[in-house]
């Protein structure tokens, strides 16, 4: 997407709004220190009588209040990062979780005109009706109901006018503010504001790409095409653009509307089990999962009893290798294998700066020790995963973004299950998958493929090794080989080197004795005992004793 440049006057107004809101909640020093305040005319700045009262709230409460007042882009920022304990402290996460998307309906919005211009069609040629009143309104889009000439009911998800431009302008200011925070605020530096905004920019751009959401929906439908328990809304591609989605209208009941489910003779506990099963299948079987499975995005169709997930703008993808690692992580967690959990976390992490390995293992042990075979049915995966994210944050481990989406999704889906059925426990749903994971680990076909892959890697290494060695030798000849090293553990290195040199010297002596003794034996050098040269025999015995001595020293913890 091309960079968006605000007109100067509009830019000044936006900065003024931002500064006034920050000042209102006691953060006026942020922009004052950055120098941005000098570019804002004093006529744009206001004195806030509520500032002193607002200072009675905690810093994290005031951050949440600032985001709410600044509008949809900032609310979306808070919502997206409400599950990132790897980047933000738990106290701030708790405040961000309170953010709700209260977007007002668009005023004077002519939906028919927008559709005709966007699709380049005449609506009466294709539609019996288009409802001017929205079914729902969010910060990025508004939803309207319509009916095709064939009688099929559809809904249009329409991006708000100029939303991309508004997002781009807000991102521009967010980036400048983040740089100012990171430069002038020691407290803010710990929150990594520049990294937060960069990650938000990627997420919001993905959510604004409606063609990508369409592809996600169709991929999701293919994954479950043979599953009669789920219904994925049909997409009408010929009525879609990058800012407009037309899909099947589903007259369903939200999973949170328990009284309506019961009135339709639908068992909420059965819905909980089937819904969570479908979500686990997304993760553990297909590796492509809904990243925001809140109750508003999960419907039950009363006529068929099928579950339907909606809104595929935010999806998580798991690579095949990572899917195997996740399965291993689940097994090691149930087995309480702390060391292997730590190794796996370091393997899949995108960044690690672990201050103390022993502390990390202790934190993991405390996490898994609460889960025993007898108490497994009483474990709440939501609270366990929340504690797990805290362990990651405190030990400075950053996992791939999709894993935080996955953790958030599991916490939400368990909450949905417990609301439908207070006795619901997700571990019952996990049992069949753990059995499958164990079965896969010892599957002969899998073991063969894995070892074949390793053999291919080894073969490639052997193929490229001569070229690599030639390249290194050429650099040595040309004087271009640069070796970078640190003197860590130098004493231990010297000791190990001394041992190695000693062993090498003994090995040379043993080889010389063996060769010399062989020559003496072959030459029949006197004196002879029973036809065997005495010096040759003594040489063989001595070399054998020295050889045994080296082997024994190696097995005695390298004491030689």
Dig out the tokens for 144 from the structure.
């309207």
Strand-pairing partners, residue 71, are none
Asked if residue 143 belongs to a domain, the reply is: yes
pTM over 0.85: no
pLDDT tens string 79-122:
777 766 666 777 888 888 787 666 678 888 899 999 999 999 99
Asked if residue 473 belongs to a domain, the reply is: yes
- Give the orientation angle of helix 490-523 with respect to helix 534-555, to 10 degrees: 160
Q: Are residues 241 and 264 in the same domain?
A: no
Check whether 144 has a pLDDT greater than 90. yes
Q: Are residues 236 and 356 in the same domain?
A: no
Angstrom distance (rounded) from CA 36 to CA 177: 9
Check whether 3 has a pLDDT greater than 50. no
Dig out the tokens for 378 from the structure.
């009483």
Point out the domain boundary residue: 484, 510, 538. 484
Most confident of the ranges 133-147, 187-201, 219-233: 219-233
Angstrom distance (rounded) from CA 338 to CA 336: 6
For residue 540, what are the contacts with CB-CB under 8 A and spacing of at least 6?
Answer: 513, 514, 517
Q: Are residues 466 and 527 in the same domain?
A: no
Which of these is catalytic: 170, 277, 292, 363? 292
Residue-range definition of the domain harbouring residue 14: 8-102+168-194
> What pLDDT was estimated at residue 413?
86
pLDDT tens string 325-358:
777 777 777 677 888 888 888 888 888 888 888 8
> What pLDDT was estimated at residue 447?
54
Confidence of residue 369 (pLDDT cuts 50, 70, 90): confident
Return the minimum-mean-pLDDT range out of 238-247, 324-333, 343-352, 447-456.
447-456
Confidence of residue 1 (pLDDT cuts 50, 70, 90): very low
Most confident of the ranges 49-63, 103-117, 444-458: 103-117
Q: Are residues 29 and 79 in the same domain?
A: yes
| DSSP state for residue 479 in the 8-state scheme | T
Q: Report CA dihedral (119, 125, 127, 131) to the nearest 10 degrees.
A: 70
For residue 185, what are the contacts with CB-CB under 8 A and spacing of at least 6?
Answer: 29, 30, 33
Asked if residue 1 belongs to a domain, the reply is: no
pLDDT tens string 388-440:
878 887 888 888 878 878 877 887 888 888 889 888 877 777 777 777 766 66
Mean pLDDT of 138-159: 93
What DSSP element (H or E) covers 190?
none
Point out the domain boundary residue: 432, 452, 484. 484
Q: Are residues 315 and 388 in the same domain?
A: yes
* CATH code assigned at 234: 3.30.200
Q: Which residue has the higher pLDDT, 352 or 269?
A: 269
Q: Are residues 275 and 399 in the same domain?
A: yes
292 is a catalytic site residue: yes
Number of domains present in the structure of the chain: 5
Check whether 146 has a pLDDT greater than 80. yes
What is the biggest distance separating any 2 CA atoms in the chain, rounded to whole angstroms?
118
Q: What are the Cα distances from residue 169, in Å, to 45, 76, 86, 175, 550?
A: 20, 15, 27, 10, 72
What percent of the chain stands above pLDDT 90? 24
Mean pLDDT of 520-538: 74
Asked if residue 204 belongs to a domain, the reply is: no
Asked if residue 448 belongs to a domain, the reply is: yes
Q: Are residues 56 and 138 in the same domain?
A: no
Q: Are residues 480 and 544 in the same domain?
A: no
> What pLDDT was estimated at residue 4?
46
Q: Are 361 and 342 in contact (CB under 8 A)?
A: yes
**Ramachandran category for residue 39: left, alpha or beta (phi over 0 → left; psi -120 to 50 → alpha):** alpha
Q: Are residues 49 and 140 in the same domain?
A: no
Asked if residue 490 belongs to a domain, the reply is: no
Mean pLDDT of 237-251: 94
Q: Are residues 546 and 464 in the same domain?
A: no
Which of 108, 154, 106 has the alpha carbon at shortest distance from 134? 106
Check whether 446 has a pLDDT greater than 50. yes
Q: Report CA dihedral (446, 330, 200, 82) to the nearest 10 degrees.
A: 160
Asked if residue 203 belongs to a domain, the reply is: no
Q: Are residues 180 and 38 in the same domain?
A: yes
Does the CA dihedral 60-61-66-71 come out positive or negative?
A: positive
Asked if residue 245 belongs to a domain, the reply is: yes
Q: Are residues 235 and 116 in the same domain?
A: yes
Angstrom distance (rounded) from CA 141 to CA 111: 12
Check whether 30 has a pLDDT greater than 50. yes
Strands (DSSP E) contained in 182-252 are 244-248
Q: DSSP of 493-540, one letter per residue?
A: HHHHHHHHHHHHHHHHHHHHHHHHHHHHHHHTPSSEETTEEHHHHHHH
């Amino acid at each position: 997407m091309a960079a968006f440049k605000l007109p100067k006057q509009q830019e000044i107004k936006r900065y003024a709004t931002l500064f006034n809101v920050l000042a209102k909640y006691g953060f006026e020093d942020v922009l004052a220190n950055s120098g941005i305040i000098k570019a804002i005319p004093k006529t744009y700045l206001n004195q806030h009588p509520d500032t002193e009262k607002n200072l009675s709230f905690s810093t994290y409460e005031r951050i949440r209040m600032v985001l709410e007042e600044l509008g949809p882009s900032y609310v979306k920022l808070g919502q997206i990062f409400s599950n990132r304990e790897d980047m933000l402290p738990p106290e701030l996460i708790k405040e961000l979780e309170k953010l709700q998307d209260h977007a007002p309906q668009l005023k004077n919005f002519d939906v028919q005109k927008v559709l005709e211009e966007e699709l380049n069609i005449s609506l009466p040629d294709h539609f019996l009706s288009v409802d001017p009143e929205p079914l729902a309104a969010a910060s990025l889009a508004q939803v309207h109901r319509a009916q095709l000439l064939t009688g099929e009911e559809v809904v249009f998800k329409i991006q708000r006018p100029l939303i991309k431009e508004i997002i781009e302008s807000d991102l521009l200011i967010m980036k400048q503010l983040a740089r100012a925070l990171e430069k002038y605020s020691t407290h803010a530096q710990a929150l990594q504001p520049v990294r937060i905004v960069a990650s938000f920019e990627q997420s919001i751009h993905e959510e604004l790409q409606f063609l990508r959401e369409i592809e996600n929906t169709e991929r999701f439908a293919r994954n479950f095409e043979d599953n009669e328990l789920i219904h994925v809304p049909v997409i009408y591609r010929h009525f879609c653009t990058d800012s407009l989605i037309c899909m099947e209208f589903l007259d369903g009941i939200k999973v949170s509307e328990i009284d309506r489910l019961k009135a339709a003779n639908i068992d909420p506990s059965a819905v909980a089990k089937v819904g969570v099963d479908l979500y686990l299948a997304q993760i553990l079987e297909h590796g492509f999962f809904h990243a925001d499975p809140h109750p508003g995005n999960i419907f039950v169709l009363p006529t068929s009893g099928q579950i339907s997930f909606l809104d595929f703008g935010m999806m998580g993808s798991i690579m095949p290798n990572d899917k195997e690692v996740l399965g291993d992580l689940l097994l090691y967690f149930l087995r309480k294998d702390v060391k292997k959990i730590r190794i796996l976390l370091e393997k899949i992490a995108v960044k690690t700066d672990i201050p103390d390995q022993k502390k990390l293992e202790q934190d993991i042990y405390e996490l898994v020790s609460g889960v025993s075979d007898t108490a497994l049915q009483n474990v709440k995966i939501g609270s366990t995963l929340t504690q797990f994210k805290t362990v990651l944050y405190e030990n400075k481990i950053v996992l791939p973004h999709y894993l935080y989406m996955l953790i958030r999704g599991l916490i939400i889906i368990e909450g949905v299950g417990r609301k439908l059925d207070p006795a619901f426990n997700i571990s019952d749903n996990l049992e069949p998958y753990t059995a499958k994971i164990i079965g896969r680990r010892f599957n002969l076909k899998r073991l063969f493929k894995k070892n074949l892959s390793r053999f291919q890697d080894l073969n490639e290494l052997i193929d490229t090794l001569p070229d690599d060695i030639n390249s290194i030798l050429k650099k040595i000849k040309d004087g271009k080989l640069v070796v970078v090293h640190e003197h860590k553990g130098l004493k231990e290195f010297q000791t190990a080197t001394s041992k190695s040199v000693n062993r090498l010297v003994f090995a040379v002596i043993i080889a010389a004795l063996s060769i010399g003794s062989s020559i003496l034996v072959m030459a029949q050098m006197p004196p002879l005992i029973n036809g065997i040269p005495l010096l040759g025999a003594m040489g063989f015995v001595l070399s054998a004793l020295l050889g045994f001595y080296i082997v024994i020293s190696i097995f005695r913890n390298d004491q030689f």
